[in-house]
Amino acid sequence: MAGELKVYDRFFIGGEWKAPAGTGTVEVINPSTEEPAGRAPEATEADMDRAVEAARRAFDEGPWPHLAPAERALVLTKVSEAIQAEMAEMAALITTEMGAPVSWGTMGQVLAPTMIFNYYADMAGTYAFDEVRAGLMGPVLVTNEPVGVVAAIAPWNVPLFIAAAKLAPALVAGCTVVFKPAPETPLDALRLAELFEGAGLPKGVLSVVPAGRQVGEYLVRHPKVDKVSFTGSTVAGKKIGAICGEQLKRFSLELGGKSAAIVLDDADLDEALPMLLGNAIMNNGEACIAQTRILAPRDRYQEVVDALSERMSAMKVGDPLDPATEVGPLVAERQRERVEGYIKIGQEEGAKVALGGGRPAGIDRGWFVEPTLFVDVDNSMRIAQEEIFGPVLVVIPYEGDDQAVAVANDSSYGLCGSVWTADPDRGLEVARKVRTGTYMLNSPIPIDFATPFGGYKESGLGREFGPEGLELFLEQKSITLPAGYTPKL
């Protein structure tokens, strides 16, 4: 894979590989070599029009929305098998696009999406799309129908995972989809389109059109789009929410985070820290759920800092394609500038760098930043409030469980978090008080795909995964029935 240029010159529009309307291209640069990794066309508004028209026709004229859910699910199962058959190649492709170490990426970037496809394929056979209720005045058929044409927009950090989180439930629901991947990661998205084509997805049901922000916004505003499913930054999410609000278009948002890991005073650090760090620096720290604020009891503060420093300094930084690597490069030069900017801001704010803070020695190319640990951090500092999106952690002292909860909640975000303790009852009490959509109690698993995932506050609106994730793509219709009539379901 390394050194091989992956080039697409067409979009997947309505099930066919179409030449772009414009001449723009997206150049994918391998973040660990700074060399070209591939190229894809960049969509214009005219390309989006074609994709939306195809999706509209396939929805309005069918047959896709009217097939049995189990029939639609067959395609997902085939796509999942096809991804599994090229697991290593897909992991390497995503790594060359955005730098995730394959040691984590094979599971997090590739196996996890196949689990999501399989989960929703199974749900097609179990979810009650139709239910006859005994209403107050007679029988009523409550039926769940597909919401219509979906615009699915994804970021670059876990590209295939987000594609699966949106496409799997949308397609099982019977929607048709225009998928806009981020310009940093068009290659895995177009490969996914090939796999959908190979799995026999009917024409028109899916389009994959890489594009930038402006054309993405054109897609959001498009009058023939019924629903927007967005994952990305809070800034973009607010803009998209405002547009959809004006149009009364359905929308769901999965946005940023600044999650707190609370180490209680009875925690066993040897047990907790490997799990905690696995989530804090997951995906090079470019994860919405990363636990980047570590709250330590004041009387164990130094012990927690020392234990974190010891483990973080042992992390292997380097070529993300090397299975021994734990931390790879950031996605782009501008992302490294952003992360280094925050390291500078932290120092100006009075926090101290206990570990890292620079570029790793001995690596002369690639957008690497050392795993970095800030101490003497107050939760009001920008490095404790803003999403850095890199391998930068802050350790904040607290006194007593109530203060730990208050500090965890003193954030505009509310996506994830964790608590580490010898006493699960005490941990559960803390977990219930923290205002986030997902939480981990002595657990290394941040998201279980059978359960709802999403954000409180500025971390989002709506829940992906579980049946709730399917319901994001359904409209409910109530049909009152004549007394004595029992519909065939």
* Length reported for the chain: 489
Active site residue 244: no
Contact between 106 and ligand NAD by CB under 6 A: the answer reads no
- Which is closer to ligand NAD, CB of 157 or CB of 442? 157
Q: Which stretch binds ligand NAD (CB under 6 A): 34-42, 88-96, 148-156, 291-299?
A: 148-156
Residue with tokens 């994959």: 208
Rounded Cα gap, residues 369 and 332, in angstroms = 11
As measured in angstroms, the least distance from the Cβ of 245 to ligand NAD is 14
Contact between 236 and ligand NAD by CB under 6 A: the answer reads yes
Query: Angle, nearest 10°, between helix axes 112-123 and 159-173?
Result: 10
Active site residue 254: yes
Among candidate residues 288, 370, 416, 458, the one labeled active-site is 288
Contact between 338 and ligand NAD by CB under 6 A: the answer reads no
Residue with tokens 């992956």: 6
Strand locations in 86-138, DSSP E? 130-134
User: What is the identity of the amino acid at 270?
Assistant: D
Strand order through the sheet with 6-7: 6-7, 36-41, 25-29
- Which is closer to ligand NAD, CB of 75 or CB of 182? 182
Contact between 213 and ligand NAD by CB under 6 A: the answer reads yes
Contact between 225 and ligand NAD by CB under 6 A: the answer reads no
Tokens of 312: 């973080």
Binding mask 159-198 for ligand NAD (x = CB under 6 A): ---------------------x-x----------------
Is residue 205 within 8 Å of residue 24, measured between CB atoms?
no
Given candidates 20, 69, 155, 169, which one binds ligand NAD under the rule CB under 6 A?
A: 155
Given candidates 33, 77, 84, 233, which one binds ligand NAD under the rule CB under 6 A?
A: 233
Is residue 11 within 8 Å of residue 20, measured between CB atoms?
yes
The strand pair at 392-398 and 250-254 is best described as unpaired
Contact between 468 and ligand NAD by CB under 6 A: the answer reads no
- Which is closer to ligand NAD, CB of 6 or CB of 457? 457
Is residue 374 within 8 Å of residue 392, measured between CB atoms?
yes
Closest CA to 34 of 268, 256, 243, 336: 336
Is residue 179 within 8 Å of residue 163, measured between CB atoms?
yes
3-class SS of residue 40: strand
Binding mask 247-286 for ligand NAD (x = CB under 6 A): -------xxxx-----------------------------
Among candidate residues 97, 254, 286, 387, the one labeled active-site is 254
Rounded Cα gap, residues 159 and 110, in angstroms = 10
Contact between 460 and ligand NAD by CB under 6 A: the answer reads yes
Closest CA to 356 of 390, 321, 323: 390
Binding site for ligand NAD (CB under 6 A): 153-158, 180, 182, 212-213, 216-217, 220, 231-233, 236, 239-240, 254-257, 288, 387, 389, 415, 455, 460
Residues annotated as catalytic are 254, 288
